[in-house]
Structures are given as C-alpha cells and as structure tokens.
Structure 1
Amino acid sequence: MVATPIAPTSRYIPPGTTRYYWVASISNYLSPSRAELNAGSDLTAEVSAVSGFATSSDQQDTPDLGSRFVKKIPGRITADDSSITLYASSNSSDARTLMPRDAAGYIVIFPEGDVTGQKMDVFPVKVSSVPKSRDIENPASMTFQYTITNVPAENVTIP
C-alpha cells in the first residue's frame, strides 16, 4: 500500500496577497482581537523589502557511550534579525511617525491576506534603528530594523 498524498495546495505569490501590519498595542498577542488588528496600521503598500521574521531551533548533540552515532535533540529557539524596508515620503509623512527608534509594538504578518479563519504570525518587536537609504538612483527608503522581544505567535487563526 502506498502513502496517501497530501492535498494539492492553492499556490500564490506574496505581492498582492501578503499583508504587513504595525499594531502598537495588543492585550494578548497569542490571540489578537479583530478590534486590535483593525486599530493597527497597514504597511503593505509602502513595503519594498522584508528580511527575517522567521524562527529556527538549534540542534544539540546528545552523545552517549551506547553508540558511535551521535543523536540530536531540538535546542533553543531563536529569531532571525528582522527588518522591513519602507518608502520614504518627500514631506516626511511616512512610517517614521508610526515607528520611531525604541517604539515597541507588533508586526503582524498575514501570508495569505487578512482573511478571517486563515493564519497570521504575530511578532512582538522593538524598533532598534531606522537607517535611511542614501542611494541617488532608487526611490528613497528607510529600513526599519527590529529586535524580536518575545516568542513569536505563529500560525494564529485570524479573527
């Protein structure tokens, strides 16, 4: 007997689908309310690049004298260095007003869009710096760099 295949996925590309919100306050980030999400700011239309916002687990060797094979166990969980590059406005009316250095809040990522019943990831963050691009050929932008301050809530059902 052969293994049962998984159901085919509905594939998509992130542009036009994935959404990024900045939410300044959430009472329980493991289960944000619809009102808390609605009170956030949708950054999506100003995002030019995203980096990080992923977790990984170290692997720890567990050697023993019973075997030459070295088994492993999951170790500490870490989050990648994370940033979002957003366009700058010619009149300074942009994301700098929402997320200055040292601002604490949440980056909420909706991979398949903000659709009730689907999944989102909630990253508790603090803005560590906001360097400006000094490129003379490309649109002006700023890279908001974040420290992940607590265990991210991943695959949370969107209310």
Structure 2
Amino acid sequence: MASTQQRYMRRGVTRIVFVKTIAAATNIPTRQELTAGTDLSRQVSDIEGWSLENSPIETPDLGAKFATSIPGEDKAANSSLTFYEDLGSDAVETLLSKDTVGYVCILRKGDVPASKSLDVFPVRVGSRAPSYSTGAEPAKFKVSFSISDLPTLDAPVPAAAAG
C-alpha cells in the first residue's frame, strides 16, 4: 500500500527564531518564550550545520576480517547562519554579537502547534563577520555558533496562545 507523502520546500515554510531564555530544563520553549524571541527567517540567506554527528569507534577483533564499529561520541556539526545586511538597521548584528548566548529554534515544518518538528540548539555566538564581494550580489554577514549543550530535537511546537 503506497502512502501519500506531502513534500515541501523549506523556503517559505521553515522558521528560525532566536530565543534568549528558556526556563524548562528540557530546552523546549513555551509559546510565550517563542513569541518573545526574534524571528530571523526573513533575514537568513543561507544555513549550514544544525545537526548532530556521531564519531563511530572501530571495534576490530582477531576473529574477523571485517572491522565493526560501535556508536561513539555525539557532537554538533559546525553551525552558522548567513544573513542579508540591512542598510538601515543593525538589529540582527546587535542581537547576535560575539559571545551572545541563547537558543536557535528551528521550526522545520513551520509554526504548526503540536508538530514534532522543533529543534532547539543552545548556542553561543563564536564569530560574526561580513562577507565582502565585488560581485553584483546583496551584502551579507555570517554568524558562526558553538552548540553549547545537547540540542533538543523533534520537540513539539508549543500550542498557540489562546485568545
């Protein structure tokens, strides 16, 4: 039996929100915390990383020619966001200055309450640098993040505020 899969393009759907504080030990924001965050989606031109990688440990043994392995330590991929520069505002540069700590919340399937598509990365800004070019392209800058703790993946998007 074939199931119907609704495929989509991330552009226009996925949201990226920077949240300064999350009270829960689970690192899952409440609706109020998410709403208080800064939605960066419209300023992002490129995204890199934002995933966990595992470094397997080889476990060869004398009895076999095949070298097996077991899962080793997890680590976060080098992660960054590239933004369009704004000629009239430095709000994003100010928000994401070096050593700023907070949470990058990626709502993979958009802001769909209860969807288990929220990834939350505790971060610290490592660097922010302009991308210089003489080409006919928009001005941009890149912010590199250090993932400072275990990310919370596949969390439910918090329920919409009642009202």
TM-score, length basis structure 2: 0.88
| Alpha-carbon offset, residue 135 of structure 1 | 1.5
Q: What's the offset of the Cα at 1:115?
A: 0.8
Selected match of 1:51 from 41, 48, 64 = 48
- 1:39 corresponds to: 36
Cross-structure match for 2:7: 11
| 1:85 paired residue number | 82
The equivalent position to 2:60 in structure 1, one of 63, 75, 97, is 63
Following superposition, the deviation at residue 108 of structure 1 comes to 0.4
Tell me the equivalent position of 2:147. 148
Q: Does 1:115 align with 2:144?
A: no
Does structure 2 conserve the Cα–Cα contact (< 8 Å) formed by 1:30 and 1:156?
no
Q: Does 1:131 align with 2:143?
A: no
Measured in 2, the distance between the counterparts of 1:8 and 1:20 equals 27
Matched residue of 1:130: which SS? strand
Q: Secondary structure at the match of 1:75?
A: coil
**Matched-pair contact (CA < 8 Å) for 1:120–1:156:** yes
Name the CA distance, whole Å, in 1 between partners of 2:78 and 2:72: 19
Aligned counterparts of 2:143 and 2:55: Cα–Cα separation in 1: 26
Whole-Å separation in 1 of the counterparts to 2:28 and 2:87: 37
Unaligned 5+ runs, structure 2 = 159-163
1:105 to 92, 102, 106: 102
Worse-matched range after superposition: 26-35 or 13-22: 26-35
Shift of 1:156: 0.5
Aligned to 2:156: 157
Q: What is the distance in 2 between the residues matched to 1:133 and 1:71?
A: 43
How far, CA to CA, are the matches of 2:75 and 2:4 in structure 1? Answer: 31
Q: After TM superposition, give the deviation of residue 66 of structure 1 in Å.
A: 3.5
Provide the secondary structure at the position in 1 that maps to 2:32: helix
Q: Distance in 1 between matches of 2:28 and 2:102?
A: 15
Task: Kindly state the Cα deviation for residue 74 of structure 1 after the two structures are TM-superposed.
Answer: 0.6
